[in-house]
């Protein structure tokens, strides 16, 4: 049955910001049916399309007419509620593409609701912002490997700049949540550091430029994580004990100025732990060994060594 499916006609449920971006990108090449519980949203979204979509009267009505159904909803609860609404209307073999940001457990719950009706649930998490997506240059983290993704790969290639196929159902959402954790935490760090700079009359344009340089915000990723931790190379460089010293000076400066630090203060404890674990003389990229020890994992990429 799957081999007879077509991605020419696509259903989309949910036309919020991400849904509208998907709609705009897909409208250039696909016939689209859309549904949202706010009818005005559908009308407004349709005005942005290359080809006007068909507005379905209900989620179930839409599901009965397509072989590929995309969910773009604001919460996991909304996704599962829609799954209950469409389950009896789905054609056997329908591919349901979950693009809403949900947990891996929610993806499994969605599968549990729809798989008995013959649906194939694939998680395809969106990252990189809706603007690029609306221009057909989205980035997707797809849970299953490409060989198991079916029509999902065909559809996504028409609107994607980059697609990462991963290890199995739910893996796309796992990867997105990890990536978002970095983005959200990095912003708090930037706020704290920016406040610390402003409190010392360091011009914010100077602070911004220092962070923007490759030697600034990118260096922990490209050098410490990429070039050192992934290769297991901790010789030379800035030692953990020296990094701890700088961290102590930062905290003392903030205390004197009355600048509240939360994330930066929390990271200092890792430097203390690393020195206590005997990593003081090694480049501070070696702190990755703490997590290797705690979890029994490896952060060294054998392909990099």
Helix 76-86 × helix 104-114 angle, to 10°: 10
132 within 8 A of 138, measured Cβ to Cβ: yes
Q: Residues spanned by CATH 1.10.1040.10 within the chain?
A: 213-295
pLDDT in tens, 29-84: 899 999 999 999 999 988 888 888 999 999 999 999 999 999 999 999 999 999 99
Mean of the per-residue pLDDT values of the chain: 94
Q: How far apart are CA 45 and CA 66, in angstroms?
A: 20
CATH of domain 213-295: 1.10.1040.10
Q: Reply yes or no on whether the pLDDT at 3 is more than 60.
A: no
CATH class of 2-174: alpha beta
Residues 6+ apart with CB under 8 A from 253: 196, 200
Q: How far apart are CA 233 and CA 242, in angstroms?
A: 18
The token duo for 36 is 């949202």
Q: How far apart are CA 7 and CA 66, in angstroms?
A: 8
47 within 8 A of 55, measured Cβ to Cβ: no
The token duo for 51 is 């080809």
Q: How far apart are CA 171 and CA 149, in angstroms?
A: 12
Backbone angles phi, psi at 108, to 5 degrees: -65, -40
Alpha carbon distances (Å) from 127 to 2, 61, 136, 163: 28, 30, 13, 10
> How many helices (H) and strands (E) in the chain?
14, 8
CB atoms within 10 A of CB 258: 7
The token duo for 180 is 């978002």
- Of the candidates 72, 3, 5, 61, the one whose C-alpha atom is nearest the C-alpha of residue 33 is 61
User: Mean pLDDT across the stretch 200-229?
Assistant: 97
Name the helix (H) or strand (E) containing 264.
helix 263-276
Which pLDDT score is estimated for 305?
A: 61
Torsion sign over Cα 59, 92, 84, 99 = negative
Parallel/antiparallel/unpaired status of strands 138-142 and 120-127: antiparallel
User: Mean pLDDT across the stretch 166-188?
Assistant: 97
The token duo for 274 is 């690393």
* pTM (global) more than 0.75: yes
pLDDT in tens, 186-204: 999 999 999 999 999 999 9
């Amino acid at each position: 049955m799957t081999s007879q499916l077509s991605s020419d006609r696509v259903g989309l449920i949910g036309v919020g910001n991400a849904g509208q971006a998907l709609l705009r990108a897909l409208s250039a090449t696909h016939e689209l049916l859309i549904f949202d519980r706010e009818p005005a949203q559908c009308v407004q979204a349709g005005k942005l399309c290359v080809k006007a979509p068909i507005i379905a009267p209900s989620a179930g009505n839409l599901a009965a007419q397509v072989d590929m159904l995309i969910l773009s909803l604001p919460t996991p609860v909304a996704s599962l509620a829609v799954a209950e609404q469409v389950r009896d209307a789905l054609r056997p073999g329908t591919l349901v593409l979950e693009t809403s940001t949900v947990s891996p457990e929610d993806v499994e719950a969605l599968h549990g609701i729809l798989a008995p009706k013959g649906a194939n649930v694939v998680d395809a998490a969106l990252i990189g912002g809706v603007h690029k997506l609306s221009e057909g240059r989205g980035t997707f983290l797809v849970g299953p490997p490409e060989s198991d993704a079916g029509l999902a790969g065909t559809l996504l290639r028409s609107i994607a700049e980059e697609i990462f196929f991963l290890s199995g159902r739910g893996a796309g959402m796992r990867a997105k949540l990890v990536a978002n954790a970095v983005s959200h935490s990095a912003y708090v760090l930037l706020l704290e550091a920016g406040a610390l700079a402003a409190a010392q009359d360091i011009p914010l344009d100077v602070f911004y430029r220092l962070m923007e340089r490759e030697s600034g915000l990118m260096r922990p990723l490209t050098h410490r994580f990429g070039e050192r931790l992934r290769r297991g190379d901790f010789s030379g460089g800035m030692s953990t004990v020296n990094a701890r010293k700088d961290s102590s000076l930062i905290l003392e400066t903030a205390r004197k100025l009355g600048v509240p630090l939360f994330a930066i203060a929390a990271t200092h404890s890792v430097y203390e732990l690393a020195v206590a674990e005997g990593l003081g003389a090694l480049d501070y990229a070696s702190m990755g060994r703490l997590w290797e020890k705690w979890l029994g994992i490896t952060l060294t990429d054998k392909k990099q060594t």
